[in-house]
Chains A and B, each alone.
Chain A
Amino acid sequence: MANSNLPRRIIKETQRLLSEPAPGISASPSEDNMRYFNVMILGPTQSPYEGGVFKLELFLPEEYPMAAPKVRFLTKIYHPNIDKLGRICLDILKDKWSPALQIRTVLLSIQALLSAPNPDDPLSENIAKHWKSNEAEAVETAKEWTRLYASGA
């Protein structure tokens, strides 16, 4: 298996994620590749995503922690910073990555992004436009999508 030379840091992070998970977040490594994590994030309360269970995949590249993990939504989600492929527009996953960040902090940030969509820095132009022009309607769509795609896990 590819896990024999897994860096200590990844092992440690994994252990901690499993033993003391962050509220509303679950992340467990895949059995055949310890660098690949199946992630579930609960839609934050008081957000259009409340009640939804969102699946994500997270992969730790070879250079981790000197390079950011690669994270993608698997569950369809209506969010100005997430495109239809599930890619996430989040600075700490790109140029603002710091090795002092961890899987946990990354997932918490994504959770926070669900609470506070940022249509000014959009990844999905249409959704962002929608959000800006008619926020109430956009939020309704988001809720609708959550019901449609993110309910029964």
Chain B
Amino acid sequence: MANKISDELITTVQSIVGQDYSKMDVLRALHMANNDATAAINIIFDTPSFKKSEPPKTPKVPSRTATVTTQDATRNATVKTQAAVSSSMTNNVSCSVDDEPCTSRSVEREVDKGNEVVNNLTGSSKWWFVGCCQVAGLSTCKGSKIKPGDQLNFTFPPEKRLSGPSPGKFGSGGRGRQPTACSEIVRFSTSASGEIGRIPNEWSRCLLPLVRDKKIQIQGFCKSAPDNLGLMDTINLSISVYINSSMLQKSHQTSVKVPTTSVDETSIQPLPTLFRLLGLIPFKKAEFTPSDLYTRKRKLEDVKDTSGVPSSLLNATKIKKSSSNGSTDEPEETISDNDLDNIVGVANGSELEEMEPSRTLLCDLRPYQKQALHFMMNLEKGPCVDDAATTLHPCWDAYHLADKRKVTVYVNSFSGEATVEFPSTLQMARGGILADAMGLGKTIMTISLLLAHTEKGGSLDKDKSEINGSDQSQSSSSPKKASKFSGFDKFKKQKQSLIGGGNLIICPMTLIGQWKAEIESHSEPGTLSIYVHYGQSRPKDAKILAQSDVVLTTYGVVSSEYSSENAEERGGLYSVRWFRVVLDEAHTIKSSKSQISMAAATLVADRRWCLTGTPIQNNLEDIFSLLRFLRIEPWGSWTWWNKLIQKPFEDGDERGLTLVQNILKPIMLRRTKLTTDKEGKPILVLPPANIQVTYCHQTESEKDFYDSLFKKSKVKFDQFVQQGRVLHNYASILELLLRLRQCCDHPFLVMSRGDTQEFSDLDKLAKRFLNKDSTTQETLPSKAYIQEVVQELKKGEHVECPICLEAFEDAVLTPCAHRLCRECLLSSWKSHVSGLCPVCRKTVSKQELITAPTESRFRVDVEKNWVESSKVSALLKDLEGFRSTGSKSIVFSQWTAFLDLLQIPFLKNNISFVRLDGTLNQQQREKVIKQFSEESNIMVLLMSLKAGGVGINLTAASNAFVMDPWWNPAVEEQAVMRIHRIGQTKSVSIKRFIVKGTVEERMEAVQARKQRLISGALTDQEVRSARIEELKMLFT
């Protein structure tokens, strides 16, 4: 049989695989392949470690020798190979044929070499000795010889790869033969006898990833073994583990982890496991470990009946009570709030201590606000800075390595990260979530916190370096935790050069003015310097930012500074280490994958706060993003969040929810308007709010119009349903619904272009052009041309876009008075901020573009043909009623076109009004709000629902009218709460208009269903079908 392997065959194979593979290898392969040359070649190439792991200094037999010994080798090899095959080994067999004539010497040599390596490792600064341990190996070969003291070679199976070094040209024959031994088995061999056995699986599992990544090395020798080895005999081995010290240095901190994919998938970390196997006992144990979580989880099971969340919440059987009788008392009592309270819990007002605010706060705090101050101060304090810097972070274990150099290594039991740098609690969260319901004065509570304790970060830095002169203090800028976003990494480099800053407050653009005003009016002049970091020309210089006590900025600015191209030169907000970062309306960062969420989480700060009335807006995941921002470990790591909270929650396991509650309990403060104080009185007494739904009835002509529109829409919708393509046509269906809903407001709206317009007054537009013309004559087109354009615009003549050659769609006007479709123009630009005018090649920036008015926003002359819709009539009647009392009203609509329409009857009926919508910039908004609050003759503020959603304080008004229902009742509620909040002295009336027998009425039902979605009670599948159901409901 052996003779069958002809020399010819060997030569053929060797000529293909090359001299890298010894004749021995080739023989082995041929044998395995039953003398099929092709298969043998494939085996060699498909088995990355096929070549036996000979030390390089065991010389390749010089070719001359090789030819001489061929016959011997062949014979010997065959014998050996048989043995190997019989022991079911297919590769990694160390059959050192070349050594055979001088076995004893070569063993000596091997041992020498082994010692040398050990010496190298122990002596080297790169490899630190972690520890040594006795391991019971199992023999896989019969009859092999091993004796105590024999040095062992370990063979690690190669990583499973899809693209191995297998050359395609040899056909696919070898694919199927890929040896199955590429598993997780770690084998050991001696130089003398070849493969001896394998080490236990639990060892292999944690050794493999680490060895593959060159993070550790192992060495071992035999301690004892049976004289006559049989299969599966136990061999006692001694294994020493060395860790690559460079992996523990700061720059590599995260790379100690297994590659990110596996971090995301597994919550078992090899390094901590290995330490455990080595019997390494942390001299300081993590207070908080994964196993804690599991045990806690088990505990939760027992307690869920008593303290768990009502299961009704998960089943979400609650449906908003029908309010068809016209009035419900407390709209803030909608299910959404209830659910929220159930999920996140509401603080018991009487339990909390109060804290007197700083004397620099120029207003009195209510008791519950003092409680908030105490709560916030306490959370910020944590352990005091000195202690914090020297206290071990509870997620980390501290180990002494067995190395002589007395190395201490810290291992994060959650992420598997390891470092030699002391992970202090300074990296831990200081801060939390202030989630008081709207209107309780989160802003003022925060201001009181600013006043009570603010330093400019620099001082803190100094403190720390005094406390521990060692390099430990450098760790203050928290290392980025395991995250599923690689984008975080790019910020690592610049940590060192951060400047200590003060407070950074991030809020929606609409609120900047209000924050500024409130800080200024509530703090003693001179105590807090404020700087608004906003606008195109904002400085990038960190020193300017760090100078002020309070820096106000918007989410947009943060996000754009985060995404700037040059991570290193970014500067701005990211070059400051903030004393405190406050996110106002923190639910803005709720989607964890969004850029703003990552941007916020990347900011470097010592204290972090989230202010939000709605910590959960759509689903539980919203919380994750907040926790990540707050650095509540280990929940800032998606792995743990997903495993222990998100998944269980989605599977309907209440423990997920209960765990969230437990996490949130210590770090979140939430009170609602109904929360009671020690005496059992509500913490906040606001004037009563009267909330009504006014059901309007359409006039006959309105009804006819609506009905025909409805019929048309329904035909289309039914088509989609029939084709089973409802969700594919979601957008067009929403469009159909939009028209129907607009029709409920006023039929004219259906005939309008649905967008907003900056320049609806053409003459104004003309003037603007002509004015400009007089100042900068040469750069602008002639008056005549502009006149012509304006004329064209006025007449609404059909001129086509010079790019798409179609009638204009969303036309814009360049400063050079050329009209193009917005999209055509922008897509012709290489940059997204500016480019050349395609017509005249003048440079134009995006900001200079003007939305060109079409003939008119409405296709009919609405002023001349003005007709009141039933809703408008109802509104006017109510407003007239307020005229005598002088009480002010806010009219909300989601369509600015409807606000346009409302202006007509307002003007006709001499109702003075101001208007606030998305087209106004910050200054204009502030002006409008001021005007509305201060000028007594202004009766109405027309406001678009979206523009007025958050934060604005409009307590000057005591009436609110919500003209049209919005899908998400929370948005509506937020807007309405602008008037029903602290500072409101008069009783408040809130009216929602619903047109009977239309899509609006059915939207109310959908809103109720929506609550279930918000509370996260439905699975994905259910959500899908629910969406279809919802839509069907609307078209009944």
Q: Which residues of A contact B (CB under 8 A)?
A: 8-9, 12-13, 65-66, 96, 98-100
B806–A98 touching, CB < 8 Å: no
Contact partner of B828 among A8, A66, A96, CB < 8 A? A66
A13–B805 touching, CB < 8 Å: yes
Chain B residues with Cβ below 8 Å from A12 are: 805-806
Contact partner of A98 among B804, B805, B827, B838, CB < 8 A? B838
A68 CB to closest chain B CB (Å) equals 12
Closest to A16 in B: B805
B803–A8 touching, CB < 8 Å: no
Q: Produce 1/0 per residue, B829-853, CB < 8 A to A.
A: 0000000101101000000000000
Q: Taking the complex as formed, is B824 at the interface, i.e. its CB lies under 8 A from any CB of chain A?
A: yes
Q: Which residues of B contact A (CB under 8 A)?
A: 802-806, 820, 824, 827-828, 836, 838-839, 841
Closest to B806 in A: A8
How far, in angstroms, from A96 to B840 measured CA to CA in the complex? Answer: 11
A65–B803 touching, CB < 8 Å: yes
B22 CB to closest chain A CB (Å) equals 55
How far, in angstroms, from A87 to B828 measured CA to CA in the complex? Answer: 25
Known: A66-B827, A66-B828. A100 touches B804 (CB 8 A): no
How far, in angstroms, from A73 to B824 measured CA to CA in the complex? Answer: 30
A-B contact pairs, 13 of them (CB 8 A): A9-B804, A12-B805, A12-B806, A13-B805, A65-B803, A66-B828, A96-B841, A98-B839, A98-B841, A99-B802, A99-B803, A99-B838, A100-B802
A12 CB to closest chain B CB (Å) equals 5
B829 CB to closest chain A CB (Å) equals 10
Chain A residues with Cβ below 8 Å from B805 are: 8-9, 12-13
Interface-central residue, B803, B827, B841, by most chain A CB under 10 Å: B803
B684 CB to closest chain A CB (Å) equals 59
B839 CB to closest chain A CB (Å) equals 5
A36 CB to closest chain B CB (Å) equals 20
Closest to A12 in B: B805
Chain A residues with Cβ below 8 Å from B806 are: 8-9, 12
How far, in angstroms, from A66 to B836 measured CA to CA in the complex? Answer: 13
Chain A residues with Cβ below 8 Å from B802 are: 99-100
Given A8-B805, A99-B824, 12 new contacts (CB under 8 A): A8-B806, A9-B804, A12-B806, A66-B827, A98-B828, A98-B838, A98-B841, A99-B802, A99-B828, A99-B838, A100-B802, A100-B839
Chain B residues with Cβ below 8 Å from A100 are: 802-803, 820, 838-839
A98–B836 touching, CB < 8 Å: yes
How far, in angstroms, from A8 to B806 measured CA to CA in the complex? Answer: 9
Interface-central residue, B805, B824, B827, by most chain A CB under 10 Å: B805
How far, in angstroms, from A55 to B806 measured CA to CA in the complex? Answer: 30
A70 CB to closest chain B CB (Å) equals 18
How far, in angstroms, from A81 to B824 measured CA to CA in the complex? Answer: 32
Chain B residues with Cβ below 8 Å from A66 are: 827-828
B831 CB to closest chain A CB (Å) equals 14
How far, in angstroms, from A8 to B807 measured CA to CA in the complex? Answer: 12
Closest to B824 in A: A99
Chain B residues with Cβ below 8 Å from A96 are: 841
Chain B residues with Cβ below 8 Å from A98 are: 828, 836, 838-839, 841
How far, in angstroms, from A100 to B805 measured CA to CA in the complex? Answer: 9
How far, in angstroms, from A9 to B828 measured CA to CA in the complex? Answer: 14
Interface-central residue, A8, A9, A98, by most chain B CB under 10 Å: A98
Closest to B802 in A: A100
Closest to B800 in A: A12
Chain A residues with Cβ below 8 Å from B827 are: 66
A96 CB to closest chain B CB (Å) equals 8
A123 CB to closest chain B CB (Å) equals 23
Closest to B838 in A: A100
Chain A residues with Cβ below 8 Å from B804 are: 8-9
How far, in angstroms, from A98 to B836 measured CA to CA in the complex? Answer: 9
- Top 3 closest A-B pairs, CB basis? A100-B838, A100-B802, A98-B838
How far, in angstroms, from A13 to B806 measured CA to CA in the complex? Answer: 11
How far, in angstroms, from A96 to B828 measured CA to CA in the complex? Answer: 13
B842 CB to closest chain A CB (Å) equals 11
A124 CB to closest chain B CB (Å) equals 27
